[in-house]
Amino acid sequence: MASLTVSTATAAAAGGNKSKEQQREGAEIITGAEACFAHSKEMLKSLGFPGGVMPLRGLEECGWVRETGFVWMRQKAPYEHYFRGTGTRVRYDAEVTAYVEEGRMKRMTGVRSKQVMLWVPIVEMSLDGDKRDKIYFKSNVGIGRSFPASAFPDEDEEAAEPKKKKEEEKKEEEENAGDDDKSAADDAAANK
């Protein structure tokens, strides 16, 4: 996994948007699609969120300033995702940013949810409920919705579920077939 730490001097020398650069000072920066994908999943899980809550595609760069909690994820192009578990469509801009802490992502940019006919910016998501089994999404006007965390399964885990289920069914069939063979042998022995 490729990573490097940006020092204050490097960020100041970079010029450009100083506030953007100042936010990223001292960040752990990850580049490359596979490394960014793994890093973003690790970050979500370390915060307590399910891996499927931010299904970004074609990640090029991720960064995390652990001191301030500032994170960013940059993908090749904007991405739109439909969450079957909630029946909502969400659009992720080419760059998504937030400030993170345990169980919460706040001051989010680059995430919008389609509500009726409008794209509503999502500015915060947090774990909710006694068991932290719900995720509350808050819009920029303070209105929000809560969904079960189980509605955001990790796609890798979700893809593995049918395979795992088939393997379990096959194993059960084999065990039952073994029992049937044993019963037939017992019946044949009893008839002799």
Q: Can you tell me the distance from the alpha carbon of 126 to that of 30, in angstroms, rounded to the nearest whole number?
A: 25
14-63 pLDDT, tens digit per residue, is 444 557 778 888 889 999 999 998 999 999 999 999 989 998 888 999 99
pLDDT band of residue 4 (cuts 50, 70, 90) is very low
pTM of the model: 0.70
3-state secondary structure of 52: helix
The β-bridge relationship of strands 104-115 and 88-101 is antiparallel
In DSSP terms, which residues pair with 4 in a beta bridge?
29
Helices (H), the chain: 8-13, 18-23, 33-47, 155-191
3-state secondary structure of 111: strand
